[in-house]
A and B are shown apart, each in its own frame.
Chain A
Amino acid sequence: MSRLRIATIWLGGCSGCHMSLLDLDEWLIELAARADLVYSPIADAKRFPPNVDLTLIEGAIANDEHLELAHTARRHSKIVVSFGDCAVTGNVTALRNPLGSAQNVLQQVYIEHGDPGGVIPHDPGIVPVLLDKVVPVHQVIPVDYYLPGCPPSAPRIRALLEALIEGREPAADIRFG
């Protein structure tokens, strides 16, 4: 059996889901025996590679960079998992949505509630441009499986990964927050 190619990406989230992934401790060594981590914030890869078997997406879609990376991941991955509450619902990342447009959010944060003389960051091509509304991953690309939780616990991540690696349908496991 050829080795599985697994990727993880970190969009609009706090990285807590990736911390929970690392919380799998010694099982990660077992995982490493069967799979390669070909792209991840915790792996040294600059570009999302082709022919990925499984991609875990942490975080909501909050800016143009997230949008592009989500589409790239979908194009190159057989299975895409919304990994954690931000990816599944928008969660804390989407708390800004009731404030309205991206411009209004930036105005509130940097000018009205920021230091005196604050300026709104604006560096196209360097600082990603915020979308007007933070949305869950499945609103921009098709998602195959959902693992809610803030963060999902290590045993829950393991149960999902084991099922997907063995080609089984994962058991329903729903717990938000």
Chain B
Amino acid sequence: MSDAWQSYVRRIEELAARSGLAFHPVDFEAVPDSFMMEIAVYGLPVRMPHWSFGVRYIYQLIQRHMGHSRLFEVVFPGNPGHAYLAESNGLAENILVTAHVLGHADFARNNLLFRRCQAQVSEHIVEHAANHARQIQQAIETHGAQRVEAALDAALALEQHIDIDQQLRRPRYPEYLEDPRTHFDDDFRKRFAALEPASAASFVEVKKRAPVPPHPERDLLWFVANYAPEMESWERDIFLAVREESFYFYPVFASQIMNEGWASYWHARLLREADFIPQQAYLDAIKCHSDVVRPVAAEQQVALSINPYHLGFAMWEKIVESKGLAAARAIMEQDDDFGFVRNHLTRELADELGLFRFSARSDGQVKVLEPDLTALHEAILAPKYNFGAPIVSAAHVRNDGTLELTHDSATDARGLDLERSRKVLDYLQRVWRRPIVLTTVNQAGSALELTAP
């Protein structure tokens, strides 16, 4: 950590605080590029071991060797937040990154989705994840690498299948159905019961066991951890550990455009307002900024993807310009990407940025579609629906322990990829240890059942 940069950190923090950013303190640490890459691959500085991370690691290595990507920073929200900066950053890049990190810290502390998830996961996800990694290491020592890997195969395959509207530490379903006699909230029933107490009493004599699950359950990690008939307790712990990390990942995933845009808006603005930065460093930093928020289409005429930094940055500039900073802060606090894009990506801005909607055939032919703002919003947001995963819920557990899963193909508008789904069922079957049935639809739209084993 260079002294020059260190002295700027304090001054940028002061400037940010004066500009209205409210953030928890952030610990900055400069780390080697190799470690930066690992953080990006694992999503957390220390995380459970699994071979699938090794696959991502190699893809990252290849990407980096081809010069496709360069990582400047990774920041973890919390109190204090942790920011890892690449050692290879120059002074100008570090100044920019510092301002960027403070934008993220402000976002993570004030955005409601982040706050809600942090209230569940606590503000120490980095430490929690390291703790999970240690527990899993212990499990490997006790139960053997193969069994732990089988549990992780299943748990990580379901990592997107959580229900963010539920508690992280969620109680089990009530054991029995609610007694209808307690439903005396409407006047008719009260009067009826008062008229003839005997017949009201004979309404339901025995307590009825509630079915499991009482309603289709999307929180698969939780459901399996709690209701698998023959799971070991350490396997349940692994499922719950993965689930906790998913609770941490969800807001990062679901507000990426807003969050990156907000951080980019603030690094640009703080840099502009920081009169203490030498001219050369400022120029270098601005150059770096324009690299980061550059639209993907800068070099090519047309790109079939959108850089979230660019889109978010442009949207925040527009919002602050037209509505003022106070309104922008209110939006930042209340929205996630869904609300943000649907409410604030206007026709004019979309035209200005040259955003368009296209349809691509599987043979690679791409056709640009007629402009339609609502449809454009959905095209941008579609990959983010339901944590980026199909909606699969646990529908029923049969008497013999067979798990019935259903895919909500009506909402997802098409069926599941059968080959992959079968493999996921295989993973899951090894911890559920009873048959699993999954219903989805085939190409023609008629119902289809997959089973394991």
Q: A and B, one complex? A: no
Question: Which B residues form the contact surface with A (CB < 8 A)?
Answer: none
